[in-house]
Amino acid sequence: TDIRRYDRWRPSRVFMVRQFCCFLLVLDFIILASTDYAAERSAGEEDGIYKNTLLPYSTPVRGFVILLRHREVQASLASFVVTILKSADVMIVGFSFLTVVVCMGVCILGNIYDSDAIGRNTDDYRSAYIWLFTLVITGSNYPDAVIPTYEHSRLFRLFFIIAGVIGTFFLVALIIASFQSTYTKHMHKLEDLLDLERRKATVVAYEVLKLEQEREVR
């Protein structure tokens, strides 16, 4: 009974992930089949450098698809997906704060400095989002860009300190704590469910054996 219940539970959680991995494999096959390696090799030999623009993303994907065939891996992945969905509200708060920081960074630092590092990272929202995401989430200070900003204005210094402190020491810790708590509760709930199903299966097996013994006695 518990095995049947488990088999019904796991495919619904990992179906989209497996389909996405299969899509990547098909896309990889199409790219490899349609790319002319001979032309790239000849062009590279003329320059003295072999150039290949393909991103070998499918190499780890193939191993990931193979691992997904294992039942325990599927259960862990399913729990991970469910935990992310249940912790979505906390993650939305974190990304909302990051979006506000990015908008402030582009307005304050965009097209102001002659420094290549600052100008390159704050000219548009895409570059600023990647740069400030790394700064806020990891606490990196980017000395080539942040330190010159410190020296220019106390307002800019306050901006980086507030963004780093709130993002690194508050929001990241909040997301990790929420994720860990939700994951632990979900795993305990799953274990209790499987334990209940095992007990039911044991009772059913005991009753079947009891009936078989009564038939033999008769």
In the prediction, which pLDDT does 170 show? 81
In the prediction, which pLDDT does 70 show? 66
> Which of 86, 107, 124 is at the close of a domain?
86
Residue 74 CA to its chain's centroid (Å): 16
Residue 14 and residue 56 share a domain: yes
Residue 81 and residue 65 share a domain: yes
Residue 102 and residue 58 share a domain: no
Residue 131 and residue 213 share a domain: yes
In the prediction, which pLDDT does 133 show? 80
**Segments in the chain below pLDDT 70:** 1-73, 111-121, 139-153, 216-218
Residue 103 and residue 74 share a domain: no
How many domains is the chain built from?
2
Residue 77 and residue 119 share a domain: no
* DSSP per residue, 5-16: HHHHHTHHHHHH
Task: Write down the residue that tokens 């490899």 correspond to.
Answer: 32
Residue 110 and residue 60 share a domain: no
Residue 75 and residue 110 share a domain: no
In the prediction, which pLDDT does 62 show? 64
Residue 2 and residue 93 share a domain: no
Closest CA to 95 of 65, 129, 120, 122: 129
Distance CA 94, CA 100 (A): 10
Distance CA 39, CA 43 (A): 6
Find the domain containing 47 and state its range: 1-86
> Which of 48, 63, 86 is at the close of a domain?
86
> Which of 86, 106, 124 is at the close of a domain?
86
Residue 112 and residue 138 share a domain: yes
Alpha-helical runs (H) found in 69-171: 71-86, 88-109, 116-122, 125-138, 143-152, 154-164
End-to-end CA distance of the chain: 30
At 99, which CATH number? Answer: 1.10.287
In the prediction, which pLDDT does 160 show? 75
Residue 183 and residue 171 share a domain: yes
Residue 204 and residue 100 share a domain: yes
